[in-house]
């Protein structure tokens, strides 16, 4: 829909640039009636549709969040061909235009932070994460000594934020205020504490005159936020009160669970500081965050009850870092936490150096040779694409020299390699016997892995749900695990041990590895104990362990300790109001009788099925269509199959993410949160009611069937 070209009531007589930002510019304007306006317009040159769509959605969310601490977005209109939001001039001007080299007066800095904390309290109460708190999205009015928030372009609901691609849009944000979990390098969900970290970075800048970290490039910023500790405020500004220094230090903790958990608690502490300064001229010592309860169900991203397995994986990684070549098999039922366990190793690699290559087997593509392996090798190919252009030829020369006649096989496994070579070398493998052909694919894979793996940079090849892998991929994996010359490489496989019979090739492979004395390290995951669930609940509900033990006992019985179902059951209990936060006593309470007698709870699988079956028509068909495409899929393709416009598609995708069925992997790419969700979503296509009211492209969906046969060159 085209935007109105008219400005707010009355023509603008004066318009001047106030502040230029990374994503948006601020203009000062005055209309014919003499009213002052603050205009925030999409930066000239950002003409792509995605930027326009985010800007418009930001306006809608800012209007939805209108209230204390949030600037009133009056109107969205077109200004010089770009979308523009009009706000009252009384809201203030962007903080970035008011920062100087010197620190701010302490009382003024605390007042601004308290106002923004109050604004975030309101935003978070609506279930939103702002996602872009910085000096560019904070407005400060020096006359009224008040601050408010704007710039909701990256705002998401809490469910969407936990699977969103904040970091892929980091060019639109201030890297000085980037929360560690938004870098993609931390095994933590993005949630409301991310906003509090960013506010902590702004407070640090106001009190000390500089940001916590400084860097010259993106990787430098990432390393700083994830691995470095900022200097104490008192070392930069000696007059800073100890309690203010401690508040900012708590906001800037690396782990989200160690920060303030609620903007309300932060606001309370800041207001106490202001009152003490006004009354006594100093801030006495006090306990921070005495009632730091967000009142929202948290979904902790740390692992519980997996200390032994984590220690074993860490030891294996350390051996690989020293030069070994090892393999690990992680087994357990669906939802038991196999992938989450490996995610912890990924975080360790990103902090300490190394490569993590992830691929996931899809049983619906088991008839496509090397389909799983191609996923992983394309990940490494993408890393080469990220190298500086002048560094790529050296990588390519080394690769070509090592591969020799096997180069065409790597080009078939990772087609994007040809682009790095200028597309000049044709992938024409010579005709060979089947055994020799498999050997060529193995050598090509090994050489490519060795190009990256080395001292100080171990490589982890993670194949998730390997029980669904194609035989050709399994053959290469077996050779890698048998090869005693392979160094600095850790092969990690996960599979459901109860489905081992579904892929006989996998069972035979494991038997041959055992016979050769190369059995992988076996880690079997079982259900969580009541103690581990109580620990989880203590973090999720921010309550005392001893009071949560009865609830932990109930949930353990209902879920058999399966982490995925614990997560889903908690959400379902909140939805049914069996579990709710009492704002009067500021504690969580639950209905034991309702939970104990719930019909769904005795079978967690049935609980999941019932929720999917109860989805509205549009969401159910969209989920089923996505399931046909695979575990991961492009949202645009789902929209095309359903005949939906982007305006119709994205709200439904957002709701499916909010329900927890899907997650946003990166721009436009989505994935099912669990294999079982995909499997059950496919059953929706067999629902006669849903089939009776098909979408515009339903015949194509229902007849699409399994993926096409593999390419002939394999």
**In this structure, what are the phi and psi dihedrals at residue 407, rounded to the nearest 5 degrees?**
-55, -45
Same domain, 315 and 230: no
How many domains is the chain partitioned into structurally? 5
For residue 193 the two structure tokens come to 């504490």
Structural domain contains residue 174: yes
Same domain, 341 and 488: yes
Query: Residues 371-400: pLDDT tens digits?
Result: 899 988 988 888 887 776 777 788 888 888
Structural domain contains residue 188: yes
Same domain, 126 and 82: no
Structural domain contains residue 4: no
Structural domain contains residue 154: yes
Same domain, 598 and 636: no
DSSP string, 243-286: HHHHHHHHHT-SSGGGS-S-HHHHHHHHHHHHHHHHHHSS----
What pLDDT score does 47 carry?
59
Same domain, 311 and 404: yes
Kindly give the parts of the chain with pLDDT less than 70: 1-11, 46-47, 159-172, 187, 293-294, 388, 422-433, 543-546, 598-610, 647, 658, 660, 665-667, 686-714
Same domain, 448 and 576: no
Structural domain contains residue 518: yes
Same domain, 44 and 83: yes
Closest CA to 513 of 487, 542, 496, 491: 491
Last residue of a domain, which of 90, 123, 153? 90
What pLDDT score does 243 carry?
96
Structural domain contains residue 712: no
d(CA 263, CA 269): 10
Same domain, 317 and 371: yes
Question: Please, how many CA atoms are within 13 Å of residue 283, restricted to the half-sphere of its CB?
Answer: 22
For residue 74 the two structure tokens come to 């009056």
Last residue of a domain, which of 90, 124, 144? 90
Query: What is the domain-level CATH number for residue 667?
Result: 1.10.10.10
Q: Which domain holds residue 598?
A: 530-608
Contacts of 110 (CB under 8 A, 6+ apart): 244, 270, 273, 274, 277
Same domain, 554 and 668: no
d(CA 245, CA 122): 25
d(CA 369, CA 469): 9
d(CA 543, CA 527): 23
State whether the Cα torsion 222-226-231-233 is positive or negative: positive
Query: What is the domain-level CATH number for residue 61?
Result: 3.30.200.20
Same domain, 355 and 456: yes
Structural domain contains residue 285: no
Same domain, 388 and 493: yes
Q: The tokens 């010579």 sit on which residue?
A: 430
Query: What is the domain-level CATH number for residue 392?
Result: 3.40.50.300
Strand, coil or helix: 277: helix
Structural domain contains residue 299: no
Last residue of a domain, which of 54, 73, 90? 90
Same domain, 588 and 671: no
Whole-prediction pTM value?
0.68
Q: The tokens 């969103």 sit on which residue?
A: 164
Q: The tokens 């694919």 sit on which residue?
A: 441
Query: Residues 274-287: pLDDT tens digits?
Result: 999 999 999 999 99
DSSP string, 173-199: S-GGG--GGGTT-SSS---HHHHHHHH
What pLDDT score does 485 carry?
93
User: Which element (helix H / strand E) includes 39?
Assistant: strand 36-42
């Amino acid at each position: 829909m085209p935007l109105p070209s008219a400005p707010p009531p009355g023509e603008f007589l004066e318009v001047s640039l106030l502040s230029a930002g990374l994503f948006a510019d601020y203009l000062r304007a005055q209309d014919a009636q003499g009213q002052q306006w603050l205009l925030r317009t999409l930066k000239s040159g950002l003409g792509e549709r995605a930027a326009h769509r985010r800007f418009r959605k930001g306006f809608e969310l800012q209007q939805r969040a209108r209230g204390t601490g949030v600037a009133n977005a009056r109107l969205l209109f077109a200004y010089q061909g770009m979308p523009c939001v009009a706000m009252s001039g009384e809201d203030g001007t962007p903080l970035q235009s008011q920062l100087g080299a010197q620190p701010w007066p302490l009382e003024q800095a605390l007042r601004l932070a308290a106002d923004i904390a109050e604004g975030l309290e309101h935003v978070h109460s609506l279930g939103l994460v702002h996602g872009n708190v910085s000096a560019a999205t904070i407005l400060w009015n020096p006359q009224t000594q008040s601050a408010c928030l704007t710039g909701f372009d990256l705002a998401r609901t809490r469910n969407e934020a936990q699977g969103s691609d904040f970091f892929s849009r980091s060019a639109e944000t201030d890297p000085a205020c980037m929360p560690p979990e938004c870098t993609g390098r931390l095994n933590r969900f993005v949630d409301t504490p991310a906003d509090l970290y960013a506010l902590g970075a702004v407070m640090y800048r106001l009190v000390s005159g500089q940001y916590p970290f400084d860097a010259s490039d993106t990787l430098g910023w990432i390393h700083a936020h994830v691995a470095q500790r900022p200097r104490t405020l008192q070392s930069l500004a000696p007059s800073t009160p100890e309690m203010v220094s401690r508040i900012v230090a708590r906001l800037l903790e690396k782990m989200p669970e160690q920060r303030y958990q609620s903007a309300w608690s932060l606001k309370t502490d800041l207001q106490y500081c202001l009152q003490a300064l006004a009354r006594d001229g100093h801030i006495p010592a006090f306990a921070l965050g005495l009632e730091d309860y967000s009142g929202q169900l948290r979904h902790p991203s740390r692992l519980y009850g997996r200390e032994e397995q984590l220690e074993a994986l860490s030891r294996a990684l350390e051996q690989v870092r020293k030069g070994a070549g090892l393999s690990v098999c992680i087994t357990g039922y669906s939802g038991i936490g196999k992938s989450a366990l490996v995610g912890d190793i990924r975080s360790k690699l990103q902090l300490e150096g190394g490569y993590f290559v992830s691929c996931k087997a899809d049983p619906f593509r088991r008839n496509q040779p090397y389909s799983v392996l191609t996923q992983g090798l394309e990940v490494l190919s993408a890393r080469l694409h990220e190298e500086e252009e002048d560094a790529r030829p050296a990588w390519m020369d080394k690769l070509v020299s090592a591969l020799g006649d096997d180069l065409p096989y790597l080009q078939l496994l990772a087609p994007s390699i040809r682009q790095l070579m200028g597309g000049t070398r044709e992938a024409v493998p010579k005709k060979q016997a089947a055994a020799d052909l498999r050997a060529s694919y193995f050598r090509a894979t090994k050489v490519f892995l060795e190009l990256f793996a080395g001292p100080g940079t171990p490589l982890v090849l993670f194949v998730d749900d390997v029980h669904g892998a194609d035989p050709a991929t399994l053959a290469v994996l077996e050779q890698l695990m048998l090869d005693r010359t392979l160094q600095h490489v850790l092969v990690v496989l996960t599979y459901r041990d109860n489905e081992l019979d579904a892929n006989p090739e996998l069972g035979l492979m494991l038997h041959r590895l055992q016979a050769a004395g190369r059995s992988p390290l076996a880690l079997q995951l079982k259900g969580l104990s009541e103690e581990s669930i109580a620990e989880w609940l203590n973090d999720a509900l921010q309550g005392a362990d001893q009071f949560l033990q009865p609830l932990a006992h109930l949930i353990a019985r209902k879920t058999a300790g399966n982490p995925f179902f614990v997560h889903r059951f908690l959400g379902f209990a909140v939805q049914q109001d069996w579990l709710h936060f009492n704002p009067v006593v500021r504690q969580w309470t639950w209905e034991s009788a309702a939970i104990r007698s719930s019909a769904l709870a005795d079978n967690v699988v049935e609980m999941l099925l019932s929720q999917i079956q109860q989805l509205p028509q549009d969401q159910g068909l969209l989920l089923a269509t996505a399931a046909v495409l695979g575990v991961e899929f492009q949202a645009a393709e789902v929209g095309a199959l359903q005949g939906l416009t982007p305006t119709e598609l994205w709200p439904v995708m957002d709701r499916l993410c909010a329900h927890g069925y899907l997650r946003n992997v990166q721009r436009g790419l989505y994935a099912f949160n669990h294999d079982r969700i995909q499997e059950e979503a496919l059953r929706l296509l067999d629902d006669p009611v849903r089939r009776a009211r098909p979408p515009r492209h339903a015949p194509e969906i229902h007849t699409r069937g399994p993926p096409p046969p593999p390419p002939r060159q394999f």
